[in-house]
Amino acid sequence: MRASSGRTLYRRTSLVERSARPPARSSRSVTPVPADWSQQDHLVRCEWGPVGAARLGCADGALVVVDVLSFTTSVDIAVRRGTQVYPAGWRDGTAQALATREHAVLAAGRREASADHPWTLSPTALRAAPAVRRLVLASPNGSAIAAAAPGVVVAACLRNAAAVAAWVQEQGYGSRRPLLVVPAGERWPDGSLRPAVEDLLGAGALLSALGDQSRRWSVEAVLARSAFLAASDPADLVRRSASGCELVESGFATDVELAIEIDASATVPLLQEGRFTDAQQSPP
């Protein structure tokens, strides 16, 4: 997508809409991570993207996925309205089969909303559409991470960072059991990870809400927290980030504005039996 300024921007929905491309294979089949890469000596850890989640995720801990623009923001909006959200890596035949099996609605691409099918990955569209009981949300970033992660999985964004932090602390994650925070990032056209400002700030917001326990934290977690605390206006940084500008210039400014409502939600989307529901309403 080419912006009016002449800059070439990566079209963030293209990977969601390119349903013919299969998801990457799990990194569990490759050489194990060296111990010093795994942050295993720390109870609070932070690592980027699907590969980081697969490498560092553990069955006895909790994984918090952060995909601010827009998967985890959309999950927050939908779950807050009582919808059960099923994550899927790609909007393809597998996602359609999941929707059919679970009697769920499969969300369309952000640009594919219609009067007959208003449910898309856009949080604005989900807030305006009639609430459905079950919804499949597919994306190659946050949704793919959630669908493949072991152990306890929670969806966090800027809207619910404090609520998620309080919940994981109550469950003992980060103090007695491992906590891995995963900023999802975006993808370059070749499929490689593009670290994203909004997800770094979302991860940092959650970590800052945990309080100062840095002696138990990895350096990666400490720096994510520090990035958020150093930002004088995190919401404006997201608005002016590459991803934020892309959505604004594509006509989805309201998605950005919803996403930067810091701590506007008390919802804690917890993945149970393949679907996100509110942990506040249905504790594990």
Element (H, E) at 181: strand 179-183
The domain segmentation of the chain, as residue ranges, is: 39-274
pLDDT, residue 92, reads 85
More confident residue, 281 or 210: 210
What value does the mean pLDDT take over residues 257-261? 98
pTM for this model (two decimals): 0.88
| CATH topology assigned to domain 39-274 | putative 2-phosphosulfolactate phosphatase (3.90.1560)
Asked whether residue 7 carries a pLDDT value surpassing 70, the answer given is no
DSSP 3-state of 191? coil
Extended beta strands in the chain, E state: 44-46, 62-66, 84-88, 105-106, 134-138, 152-156, 179-183, 186-187, 193-194, 269-272, 275-278
Asked whether residue 23 carries a pLDDT value surpassing 90, the answer given is no
pLDDT digit string, tens, across residues 98-155: 999 999 999 999 999 999 999 999 999 999 999 999 999 999 999 999 999 999 999 9
DSSP characters over 68-94: TTTHHHHHHHHHHTT-EEEEESSSSHH
* Residue 3, φ and ψ in degrees, nearest 5: -80, 165
